[in-house]
Amino acid sequence: MVRNPRYDRRQTLHPFFTTSARTAGVILSKIVIRIDAVTRILFEDYSATEVRLFYALGYAAIGVFCYGVYVQIRKYRRGAALQMGSDLWQRIRWMIATVLSHRSIARRDAAAGGAHRLIFYGFVLLFIGTATITLEYDILEPLFGVRFWYGNFYLVFSLVLDMAGVALLAGLVYMMYRRGWMRLPKLDYARPDRTPGDPDFDRPQYRREDWAFLWILVIIGGTGYVLEAARLVWLQARADVWDYRWWSAVGALLAHGLRSAGLDASTAGSLRHGLWWFHGVVALALIALIPFTKVKHIFTAAGSLLVRDPLASQRLRTVPQTQQQVGAKTITDFTWKQLLNLDACTKCGRCHEACPARAVGAPLSPRDVILSLREFANATLESGALPAAATLDVHGKGPGQIAMETLWSCRTCMACVEICPVAVEHIPIIVQMRRKLVEEGAMDPLLTKTLQTIHKTGNSFGESKRKRGAWSKSLPHPVKDVRKEPVDVLWFVGDYASFDPRNQKVSQLFATLLQEAGVDFGILYDGESNAGNDVRRVGEEGLYEVLATANVAALSAASFKSVVTTDPHSYNTIRNEYPDFGGHYEIEHYTTLVKRLFDAGRLKVTHRLNYRVTFHDPCHLGRFNKGYDAPRDLLALLGCELVEMGRCRANSFCCGAGGGRIWIPDPVGSEKPAQNRMKEAAAIDGLQVYVVSCPKDLTMFEDALKTTGNEGKFVVKELIELIREAVAPPRDEEASA
């Protein structure tokens, strides 16, 4: 027969290609062609009794799970009511995006974020795989005759699930490495508010729970692979199993290993049978235990993210007029959302690590506050009947209770809330408990006196109201009184900038800058009262309401376009909390206003400073209101070389003055947060100026500079002082040089 060369391409191809094409064709046919026989081996070789038993166990596990969910929901419902906003879809979108991206876990700990991603996606894929098998086997096929777990779908899914198992195990191994070998301090459960010997000191039950959780998942994942391998060896004679083994790559590798070790088909069958039960029972036990163990964070963390308040620390909630009690005395005084918050904590220790109070040895760890309250809630609210109110008191030194010293150690700096990956809101919880202490007078005598002083004089210095604007008297040009004439910009000065002699000098410089830039501004003089930010965070809600109402009234009576303040504490409360008292203002911190004045050419740098500086982000400007860039832009404009400290921007370290702590003496001999911070700054080579942009920071850090022995090495300055220095005409000797 004569071949038509056009159709006989085989003759012209190299044998390598023909062989390869044949092989590829075989492989392709196995991929593309529907292979009906290839499917998931489920209950093969099991007696009907065994299958029934497995289903009974499955239903029991689901029953226990549902009961656990009921107990948890009942617990949350025992908390105080809280109305959520109407932005549900927006919340759901944000929560899903956060969970899927893992952005909150990966922040400042990329390795932990990566490992958790592997665990999360591995677990989710394996769960989806198991769920779809159940869906087909128990619902779709018996009821509608629909099957999809066979052929190509099955093979591809097998491969995906095999890889998901690898991801899960890799993530778990890394988490074990972190806990077991890296021994990160934040994962150490020793409590700063308890001493060794106290039964509640380092809570070994937490370590056991963590390890049990990791090991259970490793066991489920590991036995899954051995089970797969045993199945392959058991059914090695069947082409629909063995020929497709590499679609379960890890199992296939193990199967080859087991065969080489001498495992025969019959023994593999027995192994598979026993292991199947072990694997299944452990997995069902895990499902049943979810609501009662750390595993529940799968749901509670997502729930906590869903109900997160993005302004939880910046804007404390007002107390409704109808509410009898202002603070939290019992565990049921917390809202259902706060009780959910407690359950969301994964004990990751990030807040513990970030807390400035904990860092200087104060008896406070935000993590432990949350965990103690969680234990307290579980012990009191999970039982059928609600115990008597007396046993629900969360204040004290008993198990799960929070001591007064712990609550007063907080600086309300927001470092804990900012870093928590699951949106636990520590500050409102702590402030609510402080409100109760304030109500009972359980506070430091100096704090009591300061609050009385503020109540009497409207300022924390106990000065006459009439002296509030006295610092402006020595200026060459008078500062307008906004109560008498309209202005463009109302400057809310704040207590420290008005009365503290060191800060008064800064206020005079700022006024001069505004005058030179031609800004039409004025102040409220004695119409201004303490803004109340710290009074509120101390827990003196009644006094805060008085102050906020008085300031809103004074501001409302004045005529201005916008508000500026040099005090980040005042900035925060006027911006975020005064709207609840009817005060809606366009307000900014001075750094953004001055930056605009430079941009518009109304201020000019006359000589560059060339200082090597570092910048301290004030909590209420940075973390609270994201004012990170303007101060840095200004430093660049002034010609300063900025060297960042390790803890900067969102991770900045508190000066220790916030939350009313400036009015509470630190224990004698203990390190202060400002001193801790000074040591960090002192480690910067050739540092000349430690720059702040908050009156309280100036006071705290100038003091810490002396007490840490760094005086003479570098200086602490308000950014305003540097700006003034750079825009003022050079001194004579500099000009002639």
Task: Give the interface with ligand SF4 as residue ranges (CB under 6 A).
Answer: 345-351, 354-357, 364, 366-367, 370, 410-416, 419-420, 422, 424, 426-427
Smallest distance, ligand SF4 to C-beta of residue 635, A: 26
> Which C-beta is closer to ligand SF4: that of 294 or that of 347?
347
Q: Closer to ligand SF4 at the Cβ: 528 or 534?
A: 534
Minimum distance, C-beta of residue 683 to ligand SF4, in the bound complex (Å): 22
Yes or no: say if 685 and 641 are a contact pair by the CB < 8 Å rule: no
Torsion of CA 552, 558, 559, 561, to 10 degrees: -40
| 3-class DSSP assignment, residue 599 | helix
The CA distances from residue 455 to 319, 432, 546, 555, 660, in Å, are: 19, 20, 8, 19, 15
Which CB, 365 or 472, lies closer to ligand SF4? 365
Is the Cβ of residue 155 or residue 429 nearer to ligand SF4 in the bound state? 429
Rounded Cα gap, residues 50 and 33, in angstroms: 35
Of the two residues 220 and 348, which places its CB atom closer to ligand SF4 in the complex? 348
**Smaller CB distance to ligand SF4: residue 102 or 426?**
426
CB of 698 to ligand SF4, least distance (A): 20
Q: What angle do CA 454, 456, 457 make, to 5 degrees?
A: 70
Partnered with residue 614 across adjacent β-strands are 690
Task: Provide, rounded to whole angstroms, the least separation between the CB of residue 348 and ligand SF4.
Answer: 4
**Shortest distance in whole angstroms from residue 650 CB to ligand SF4:** 12
Nearer to ligand SF4, 419 or 517 (CB): 419
Reduce the secondary structure of 103-122 to three states and give it as a string. Answer: HHHHCCCHHHHHHHHHHHHH
Looking at beta carbons only, is 340 or 345 nearer to ligand SF4? 345
Number of Cβ within a 10 Å radius of residue 339 = 24
The DSSP annotation for 286-350 comes to HHHHGGGSGGGHHHHHHHHHHT--TTTTTSPPPPPTT-S--S--BGGGSBHHHHHHHHH-----H
Q: Which among 448, 364, 396 is positioned nearest to 663, based on CA atoms?
A: 448
What is the distance between the alpha carbons of residues 456 and 155, in angstroms, rounded to a whole number? 78
| DSSP run (H or E) holding 564 | strand 562-565
Least distance between ligand SF4 and beta carbon 85 (Å)? 23
Q: How many CB atoms lie within 10 A of CB 286?
A: 18
Q: How far apart are CA 464 and CA 499, in angstroms?
A: 10
Nearer to ligand SF4, 521 or 653 (CB): 653
Q: Are 171 and 260 contacting, i.e. CB atoms less than 8 angstroms apart? A: no
Query: Do 125 and 164 form a contact (C-beta atoms < 8 A)?
Result: yes
Q: How far is the CB of 389 from ligand SF4 (least distance, A)?
A: 27
Task: For residue 275, count other CB atoms closer than 10 A to its CB.
Answer: 18
CB of 659 vs ligand SF4, minimal distance in Å: 7
Q: What is the DSSP letter of 714?
A: B
Q: Provide, rounded to whole angstroms, the least separation between the CB of residue 124 and ligand SF4.
A: 20
> 599, 596, 578: which is closest to 587 by C-alpha?
578
**Shorter beta-carbon distance to ligand SF4: residue 112 or 169:** 112
Nearer to ligand SF4, 272 or 347 (CB): 347
Nearer to ligand SF4, 305 or 422 (CB): 422
Shortest distance, CB of residue 169 to ligand SF4, whole angstroms? 24
* Paired tokens of 670: 């203990």
Laid out side by side, the sheet with 689-692 consists of: 641-642, 612-615, 689-692, 715-718
Instruction: Tell the smallest beta-carbon distance from residue 301 to ligand SF4 (Å).
Output: 8
**What is the nearest approach in angstroms of ligand SF4 to the Cβ of residue 692?**
18
